[in-house]
Structure 1
Amino acid sequence: MITYEYPLNERIRTLLRLEDLFDKFQHFANSDAAENHHVALLTLFEVLEVAARADLKFDLIQELERQRQTLLGFRNNPEISEEALSGALYEIELSSAQMLAMHGKIGQYLRDNDWLMAIKNRAAIPGGVCEFDLPAYHYWLHRDPAVRRNALNDWIAPILPIRAGLSIVLRLLRASGRPEQQVATHGAFQLMLAGRTALMLRLRVDHNAPFIPEISANKYALNIRFVAPDGEDHRPRQCGENVHFELTFCNL
C-alpha cells in the first residue's frame, strides 16, 4: 500500500514537513559520499527555515502536556498495560523537558555561524557552491567522511528535541483514527463531513494501482479525485475506473 497524508491545518503541515526533512537529513548524513553530505547540509538549512516558527516549540510542549493529562486518566485501568502507559508518559515527559531546556530561537547557533551562513546564501543561487565560489567548503567536502558526519551530527543535535517531540505527536495522531474502506466511483469521491473534525487524513491505495489522489477539504466537505499519470511526462488524466482505497480521519 502507498500512504498519502493530507494535513488539515498549518500546524500539522509544518510537523509533516519537518518530519520529512529530519528523515532525509539522517539518510544523507549516514552516507560516506561528499555529495550526500552536501545534500544533508542543504536539508539542514531547510529544517532551520521550517522550524523558525516562534511558537513551534511551545505548540509541541502544550500538545504533549495535553496528551500526558489524557494518558494519566488511564491510570489503574485494568484494560491498559501499566508498563506501556508508564513508558509512554516517561517518553512524553522527557521530550517536554528537553524542549524546555532549549533557549532562544530555534537554530540560532547555526545562524551565528558565518561559515555555514555563507554556504546557505550561496546555495540559494543555482550552481552557487562551486569550488571557485567557496574554496573552504570545497576543502571540507574533501575531509574524511567521519569528520564531515560528526560535524553534521553536531550541527543538528541541538534541534533534535524538536524531532523527538513532533515524532510523538504524529505517532499519536496517526494511531487515533480507524481505517474505513471506501470506493471512488469513476475516480471521484465526495463526503459531507457534517461536523466531523480531523487534523489529518490518511489515504492508502494499493501499490499496484496506478492512481494518485488529489485531495481538497474544508470543514464542510471532503473531495478526492483520482488521476492516473499518462505517458512519459506523467501528465495526469482523470481516472474513469472505480478506485478502492482506505480512508482514516486522524484527530488528537
Structure 2
Amino acid sequence: MILYEYPFNERQRTYLRLEQLYRRLGELLVRAHPVDHHFALITLFEIMDVAARADLKTDVLKDLERHKSLFDSLRGNPEISEHMLSQVSQLLEQCFNDLNAQSGKAGQALTENESLMAIRSRVGIPAGTCSFDLPAYHAWLHRDERLRLRDLETWAETLTPLGQALELLLKLLRDTGVPQWVAAEKGVFQQAMPPGRSFQLMRLRIDPKLNLIPEISGNRLLVSVRLLRTENGCKPHLCHEDASFEITLCS
C-alpha cells in the first residue's frame, strides 16, 4: 500500500517536511560514499532552512507540553495502563527538556562554522561545489569515510532534539486515528468532517496495483479526494471508475 498524508494546517505541514528531511538524513548517514555524504550535508542545510521559522521551536514545545498535560490527566483511569502513561510522559518530558535547553533555532550553532556556511552559500548554485570553487570541501570529501561520518554526526547532533521531538509528536498524532475503508464512486470521494472535532492530519493508503494517484483537499468542514490515473508518463486524468482505499483521520 502507498501511504499519502495530508496536513490540515501549516504547523503539521512543517512537521511533515522536517520529518522527511530527518529520515533522508538518517538513510544517508549510514552510507559511505562521498556523494551520499555530500547530500547528507545538503539535507542538514535544508533542515536548518525549514527550522528557521521563528515560532517553530515554541510550537513544538507547546505541543509537547499539551500532550504531557493530557496524559497526566488520564492517571488513575482503570482502563489505562499507568506504566504506559509513565513511559510516554517521561518521553515527552525528556524531549521538552532537551529541546528547551538548546539556545536559539535548531542548528544555530552550525551557523558559527565558517567552513560549513561557505558550503551552504554555494549548494544552491548548480555544480557550485566543484573543486575549483571549494577546494577545502573537495579535500574533505576525499578523507577517510570514518572521519567524514564523524564530522557529519557531530554536526547532526545539534539538530537531534528537534528531530526526536517531532518523531514523538507525529507518532502520537497518527495513533489517534482509526483506519476505515471507503469507496470513491467514479473516482470521487467526499466526506463531511465529524462536528465538534478538530483534525490535523489525514492518512490515505491505496493499492499500487490500481495505478491511481489521489488528489486531496480538505478543511475543518469537508475532505475531498479525486482519484487520478496516469498512463505512459502523460498528464494524470480523472479516473471514472469506482475504487476503494483506506482513510484515517487523526486529531
Normalised by the size of structure 2, how large is the TM-score? 0.96
Hey, what does 1:203 align to over in structure 2? 204
User: Do the aligned residues in 1 keep the contact of 2:19 with 2:163 (CA within 8 Å)?
Assistant: yes
Hey, what does 1:188 align to over in structure 2? 188
* Distance in structure 2 (CA, Å) of the matches to 1:51 and 1:133: 28
Hey, what does 2:218 align to over in structure 1? 217
Comparing 34-43 with 77-86, greater Cα deviation is found at 77-86
Hey, what does 1:228 align to over in structure 2? 229
* Distance in structure 1 (CA, Å) of the matches to 2:31 and 2:193: 46
CA deviation vs aligned residue, 1:14-71 (integer Å, no higher than 9, x gap): 0000010011011111101000000100011100000111111121111111111111
1:218 to partner: Cα distance: 2.2
CA deviation vs aligned residue, 1:192-241 (integer Å, no higher than 9, x gap): 3364531111111123221110111123322211111210x252121121
* Distance in structure 1 (CA, Å) of the matches to 2:176 and 2:128: 45
1:155 to partner: Cα distance: 0.6
Comparing 62-71 with 16-25, greater Cα deviation is found at 62-71
User: Do the aligned residues in 1 keep the contact of 2:57 with 2:105 (CA within 8 Å)?
Assistant: no
* Distance in structure 1 (CA, Å) of the matches to 2:104 and 2:213: 42
- Give the length in aligned residue pairs: 250
* Distance in structure 1 (CA, Å) of the matches to 2:243 and 2:39: 37
1:175 to partner: Cα distance: 0.6
- Dislocated runs of 4+, deviation >3 Å: none
- Write the letter of the residue equivalent to 1:133: D
Hey, what does 1:116 align to over in structure 2? 116
Structure 1 unmatched runs, 5+ = none
Hey, what does 1:46 align to over in structure 2? 46
Hey, what does 1:179 align to over in structure 2? 179
Structure 2 unmatched runs, 5+ = none
Q: Tell me: CA distance 1:25–1:219, structure 2 relative to 1, closer, same or farther (3 Å).
A: same
1:30 aligns with 2:30: yes
- What do you get for the CA RMSD once the two structures are aligned? 1.3
- Write the letter of the residue equivalent to 1:216: S
Q: Tell me: CA distance 1:245–1:42, structure 2 relative to 1, closer, same or farther (3 Å).
A: same
1:78 to partner: Cα distance: 2.2
* Distance in structure 2 (CA, Å) of the matches to 1:148 and 1:21: 20
